[in-house]
Structure 1
Amino acid sequence: EFPDLLMILVPRHPSRADAIADLLRGHGLEVSRRSLSGTIVRSTDVFLGDTLGEMGLYYRLAPVTFLGGSFTDAGGHNPVEAALAGSALVTGPRVANARAVYKEFWNADAGARAETGAELADTVAALLRDPDLAARQAERARALVAAGRGALDKTLMLLKPFLAEPAGNPAREAAHEDGT
């Protein structure tokens, strides 16, 4: 259905890249690797993002992101960076590592959950067929993350009246002596 589709596959541990590339090639897929300065050409099926520190780039390039580790006991991966980058999110059912965030996403229709591999394929295909749907979902996720920012500052502000000043802080003691 999507003959020109490029999969960007980013292993959690780049040290697994050789084995992953071999597995993909064993299935007849053309693979290009970031760590080897691989280029993407028309025949490339999978771009293997086997480097560190570039997830934001991959999320921005992908209209739809499946966050792995969510069909196994790994517990899924945190969706916040993908949401901020504007990629529509799909995950499996096992998301213990960020359950509260995912629950909020699912309740707000800001992320999709697939229970099976077949449902994952159908969900991703539906988002790829309807770029407006994917963009709306991605925007809801981005807005949820943005609305939740600042929690640490808000918490500290609420706790401040209950926290004792540390003893022996010369700058603080000097400020109290001059009335500030």
Structure 2
Amino acid sequence: MNKWQSWVSMGATPILTLGFIVAVCVPSRANNVQITCKTTDSTPKVILSLAKNGTPENYMMLNFLPKYFSAVSAVQDCQNTAKSLQAVYDTGSSKYLTADKLNEQAVVCAVERRGIGCNHYSAQVLFILKPVDNPSQALYEMLGSDFKQAQRPDARTLSRTYTDTRPWWWPL
């Protein structure tokens, strides 16, 4: 038995060591992505900053349009959304944005996968729209061009559309 244990130990140690080295050396996506709310112009925007080849590049993710928000709520919702989306990138917990009706309110939330709505236990509501707003239409209009789907949602669209939180060119 001692001989067997020593062989197992000899085989397991390099594997565990290699796993540790890979875990420590692989750069995390969280360090390369910064989500912030920019309020330098009249419309607050959630900006994704990604370090590519050592140079940060900015991509507008969400534009808090005045037709959906008051000036005060736009800034507050933008800041809260930026913090929430930064946590999403840091943890890798949610991969899609979707819009839904939740308790008679139009909402936009982050979800883990397609097929679940904002009422799912793992969904994270990012902001609330006016009850009369079409949440799918509002989300589409608010999205930056790198995050938009090819087609606008319409009456024939399924009840919910899903937008990847990573731009279309993002490496898998």
Band the TM-score falls in, shorter-chain normalisation: under 0.3
Q: Which has the higher strand share?
A: 2
Larger RCO (alpha carbons 8 Å, 6+ apart): 2
Q: Which has the higher helix share?
A: 1
User: Structure 2 length as normaliser, TM-score?
Assistant: 0.24
Higher gyration radius (CA): 1
